Structure 1
Amino acid sequence: GGQLTPIDLIVEERFHRAAPGGMGGTKAAGNYSPVLKTQLAAKQDGFADVVYLDAKHDKYLEEVSSCNIFVVKGKTIRTPALGGTILPGVTRSSVMRLAEAHGYTVEEGDVTVDEGMEADEIFTSGTAVVVCSVGSLQYRGHRRRFGPSEGKEPGPVALEIYNALTKLQLEEEEDPFGWVYPVC
């Protein structure tokens, strides 16, 4: 395992990362350039990144600039469903399988901003970050800090999943899923 430093996110309401019928569910360079302006503005305001809403209803969480998002309430982990605008990442799939193996109920579907603001914990996943704990989420001027440390320490679920996944990747634990292949 390693150390997770929680990040602060802001919900973007004016711009969208992807739209139905577009390329949002495809790993393509064109999906990353539209987020650069909003990402830069967020960083100038002290946030690590941006959470984008769906382009159709403007109320459902979709993704962070280059990561999938997971919302935790009790033993339930919710993540936006794949539907053409969400990247079906390998890490996303791995996190979902690991979470179920660790006794969590994982649900895919529409996840409202309100669910995010009322969550016990939020984390993201992606190839580069593996799993990243969210320290706070800001929406319409209200900032919600997560956990007993007010977002200064990683959330327990993010830490559990991060440690489990990296131990498999580093072959520190037996791989029950058949994900690790020797290459030489």
Structure 2
Amino acid sequence: MSYPNIDWKNLAFDYIKTDFRFISVWKDGEWQEGILIRDNSLKISEGSTALHYGQQCFEGLKAYRCKDGSINLFRPNMNARRMQHSCNRLLMPSVTEEFFIQACIDVIKANEHFIPPYGSNGALYLRPYIIGVGDNIGVRPAPEYIFSVFCIPVGNYFKNGMKPSDFIISNFDRAAPNGTGAAKVGGNYAASLMPGNIAKANGFADCIYLDPLTHSKIEEVGSANFFGISYNNEIITPKSSSVLPGITKLSILQLAQERLNLKVLEEDVFVSELDRFQEAGACGTAAVITPIGSITYLEKQHIFYSKEEVGPTIRKIYNELTGIQFGDISAPNGWILKI
């Protein structure tokens, strides 16, 4: 296979223009069949609701090159269902699970030479999105919508990769208590730009958000989910209606329970009780798993397993998850779609 001239070993999480993307338009009550196009720009009405009122949502999933040359797409049905939930929250027409997955398959096949080689630790990141477009000015659902999927080859989201990173508790809120926190919509990420920038300017990988109602419980780590490994052999993750239901998080919880014999708990994670955790991490499609070396709160730094070394349990979870994604370890039923 002829690969593009890319330094695969040093891939970052940056935009790289690939050859084709899928696009379909919703008009007159139905989605068009959709096509692959080369143009990576959109022409939309200046009155589009996506521009003025944030009527848009997106997803993120990855395709992996296996040792035998085959391609693994990881749990695309979960992304399709989560996008349907986001669309329902914003009064947008959703696409069927079958349509979503086929669009992803078409994009992967058309850009197969951009999938990082096996052993490079990179993957092909797919970004499906739906935006409200068409001539409009009132605060109402759009008259038309665009569904599109593009892809980019990516490496680690956090620059430290699978090394412990330092985080700080933010004074800002990511989402409202009964808002859109559980939907993957752009407004949640726009709200995170300033606090994330402040954290990074002060030497942290990102910030951690507390619950918006009481500011006493951990909710999310930047744009990733939080989890901790307790001294009682438990894996614990926050339970909240304003936390995004992460597919990587749900996957590692299942693996931790079924393959590592850890007890799984989804419950309140009080920032005042960090001493219960021997290890902690952030997880997501982009981040995969990033060990948390320390959390700073009210000028006090709490160090977990180590600021230099990955804890043994997180290492096992990471190896199990990535082994499944790259085809080196057998996957639970339905997790892998072979392309």
Q: So what's the TM-score if we normalise by structure 1?
A: 0.92
- Pairing 1:157–2:313 present: yes
**Alignment counterpart, residue 221 of structure 2, candidates 47, 57, 64:** 64
- TM alignment of 1:23-42, pairs within 5 A: 23-42=180-199
Residue of structure 2 in register with 1:20 after alignment: 177
The equivalences for 1:81-96 within 5 A come to 81-83=239-241, 85-96=242-253
CA distance in 1, matches of 2:225, 2:218: 10
- Structure 1 equivalent of residue 265 of structure 2: 107
Contact 2:281 2:291 in 1 (8 A): yes
Equivalent residue, structure 1, for 2:238? 80
| Matching residue of 1:173 | 329
Runs of 4+ with >3 A deviation: none
Q: Does 1:121 align with 2:279?
A: yes
The amino acid across from 1:107 in the alignment is L
1:47-97 Cα offsets, whole Å, 9 max, x none, are: 0011100011110000011000002112111111141x1001111110110
In the alignment, is the contact (CA less than 8 A) between 1:26 and 1:87 conserved in 2? yes
Q: Which has the larger radius of gyration?
A: 2
Give the equivalent residue in structure 1 for 2:299. Answer: 141
Q: Which runs of 5+ in 2 are unaligned?
A: 1-118, 122-160
For residue 318 of structure 2, give the secondary structure of its aligned residue in structure 1.
helix
| One-letter identity of the residue aligned with 1:58 | H
Secondary structure of the 2:333 match is coil
Please report the TM-score for the alignment, with normalisation by the length of structure 2.
0.51
Q: Supply the distance in 1 between the matched residues of 2:332 and 2:223 (Cα, whole angstroms).
A: 28
Structure 2: distance between partners of 1:36 and 1:114: 26
CA contact (8 A) 2:168 2:208 kept: yes
Displacement, 1:109? 1.1
Q: CA RMSD in A?
A: 1.5
Aligned residue for 1:158, secondary structure, equals helix
Deviation of 1:128 after TM superposition, in Å, equals 0.6
Q: In structure 2, what residue type is equivalent to 1:114? A: S
* Number of residues of Structure 1 aligned to a counterpart in Structure 2: 179
Matches of 2:240 and 2:296 in 1, distance apart? 24
* Paired-residue identity, %: 38
1:48 pairs with one of 172, 195, 205:
205
Matches of 1:89 and 1:28, distance apart in 2: 13
- CA distance in 1 between counterparts of 2:240 and 2:172 reads 20
Which secondary structure does the structure 1 equivalent of 2:277 belong to?
coil
Decide whether the 8 Å contact of 1:63 with 1:86 is kept in 2: yes
Q: Does the 8 A contact of 2:274 with 2:302 survive in 1?
A: no
Which ranges of structure 1 fall in alignment gaps of 5 or more residues?
none
> CA contact under 8 A between 1:82 and 1:88: conserved in structure 2?
no
Deviation of 1:178 (Å): 2.6
Report the residue type matching 2:252 in the other structure: V
Amino acid at match of 1:165: L
In the alignment, residue 181 of structure 1 is paired with which amino acid?
Answer: L
Q: What do residues 85-125 of structure 1 show as CA deviations (whole Å, max 9, x unaligned)?
A: 10011111101101101111110011100222542111011
Equivalent pair of 1:133/1:158 in contact (CA under 8 Å): yes
